[in-house]
Amino acid sequence: QQQVKQSPQSLIVQKGGIPIINCAYENTAFDYFPWYQQFPGKGPALLIAIRPDVSEKKEGRFTISFNKSAKQFSLHIMDSQPGDSATYFCAARGGFGNEKLTFGTGTRLTIIP
């Protein structure tokens, strides 16, 4: 019940395309859903985050779509660039005072010129 399932495992998109990464969860107590970008040898960096009372959030080229009834959320990257090539992780916070983040398995994104 604490799992966050992430797909796809890897993704190759042409420059300018819109990669979409999906995550699904079971625990309805989760109350905060961030997305992180990680480059090799570096710590994760927060891209964008959403709370379950919002269906969509956009920050720059990054958009989260959130479907509370389906317990799914996704990351869209508009006008993707080779510099966006990285590993992306979705996560979910435990809720009810549980501050632990549960991470998805990660998506290795490659943007080809």
Partner 1 sequence: GAVVSQHPSWVICKSGTSVKIECRSLDFQATTMFWYRQFPKQSLMLMATSNEGSKATYEQGVEKDKFLINHASLTLSTLTVTSAHPEDSSFYICSATGQIINYGYTFGSGTRLTVV
CA angle 72, 77, 79 (to 5 degrees): 155
Beta bridge partners of 88: 37, 107
Task: Give the helix/strand (H/E) hosting 7.
Answer: strand 4-7
Task: Burial-class residue 113 by CB neighbours within 10 Å (0-12, 13-18, 19+).
Answer: exposed
Does residue 62 touch partner 1 according to CB under 8 A?
A: no
Does residue 89 touch partner 1 according to CB under 8 A?
A: yes
Closest listed residue to residue 56, CA positions, set 79, 73, 37, 32: 73
47 vs 111, which CB is nearer to partner 1?
Answer: 47
- Give 48-52's long-range contacts (Cβ < 8 A, gap of 24+): 48/75
CB of residue 53 vs partner 1: minimum separation in angstroms? 15
Candidate list 35, 104, 109, 111; residue touching partner 1; CB under 8 A: 104
Does residue 44 touch partner 1 according to CB under 8 A?
A: yes
CB of residue 69 vs partner 1: minimum separation in angstroms? 25
CB of residue 71 vs partner 1: minimum separation in angstroms? 19
CB of residue 50 vs partner 1: minimum separation in angstroms? 12
Which range, of 12-20, 42-50, 62-70, 77-85, touches partner 1 by CB under 8 A? 42-50
